[in-house]
Structure 1
Amino acid sequence: MSCIRFNTPAQRQAMRDHAPVMLTPEQAAALHPAPPVTDSKIARLRTLAASPNPKIRESVASSYHAPEDLFEKLAKDSDEGVRSWLARNENVSCDILRSLADDESEKVRGWLALNFFVPDDVMARLADDPDDTVRALVRWKAALASDELTNA
């Protein structure tokens, strides 16, 4: 007996009819407010950023609440996974993102190319990147932006 189930058109329509109303990000945030960022939370992030385990440092690099000096330190981390998480973090400053454009790892530069908060001058540099994949990601992101403009 197969575990795959195929819904009939009537079942699919019933699921659409009874689908929950989607909340906007603002409505969801109002219903589930984030706890305040305290000094103890920042102290924990500092402790975690010094961990010998790169996966723990990655969690700090992905944080929206880490202070700028911690992001600067993580931008120089020896592990490309840590720098990759930093490259995709939307709360990292433009100056740190600029420094990652010269990263030795094409993985880091690729994630940087996908970050929608990367300044235009960095995207122009990444468009001439030596790695084919990074250049392809820049073109793909530009095509997405172009599609958004034409569909608006």
Structure 2
Amino acid sequence: MKPRHKRMALVGAGVALLVGAVALVLNAFSDNMVFFFTPTQVAAKEAPQNRTFRIGGMVQDGSLQRQPDGTTVHFIVTDTAHAIPVTYTGALPDLFKEGKGVVAQGKLREDGVFAASEVLAKHDENYMPPEAAHALEQARKAQSTVVQ
């Protein structure tokens, strides 16, 4: 084999390895990507089925129900325009309360209930996740244009 052919073979192998590595990285990246949706977007069927995503808004007053097992809770996340029921099994953050901002990560079940695997709550009196704050503002604007 001539030196020129050896170089071409090495370059070809290097390119193949690089393409393989890039493909693996992109595949891992797409598997771990989690998108944020508002209750209005979920109600409009814009959220993916059988894929993990985040839903955010406010915990609707009077919607928190704790089950007898002590770890399962049901509550409703709303953006004032639409509401989505959520179920979660696990320890809730200490600052989780009705009427406060929340972001839940999980999957939407066939029955329309969001099965959360993780629940995130605000960390001080003035904080709300930026996505949730934006969603609530958009819902308020849409609701005020409908009312007028």
TM-score range, shorter chain: under 0.3
Calculate the TM-score normalised by the size of structure 1. Answer: 0.22
Higher Cα radius of gyration: 2
1 or 2, which has the higher strand percentage?
2
Query: TM (normalized to structure 2)?
Result: 0.23
Structure possessing the higher relative contact order (Cα contacts under 8 Å, 6 or more residues apart):
2
Greater helix percent: which structure? 1
